[in-house]
Amino acid sequence: MVSTQEGRDAIQRGPERLETWASENLMKFNKGKCKVLHMGQGNPKPTWAENSPAEKDLQVLVDEKLNMTR
């Protein structure tokens, strides 16, 4: 659980480092294929990726409330 601005900044550094790595290796990082499953309330939504109501991981569909019934 992330509840501080420092924690949010630390998580944001991951995609930023990936984009830097891709650029240094003459590759393109396709932000258009990235989606964010926003969880929690009061958290700022990222502007660099599209928000998604639910995402599938390991063949399990999970929504923003961690509901797996769909």
| Residue 25 forms part of a structural domain | yes
Res 39: pLDDT = 67
Residue 57 placed within a domain: yes
**Domain extent at residue 43:** 5-63
13-67 pLDDT, tens digit per residue, is 887 888 889 899 999 877 777 777 766 666 666 666 777 777 676 777 777 777 7
The predicted pLDDT at position 25 comes to 94
Q: How many domains does the chain have?
A: 1
**Residue 6 scores a pLDDT above 70:** yes
Contact, 44 vs 34, CB < 8 A? Answer: no
**Is the full-model pTM beyond 0.75?**
no
CA–CA distance, 13 with 15 (Å, rounded to integer): 6
SS3 content of the chain, % helix, strand, coil (to 5): 35, 15, 50
Does residue 50 lie in a domain region? yes
CA angle at 56 for the pair 50 and 32, rounded to the nearest 5°: 25
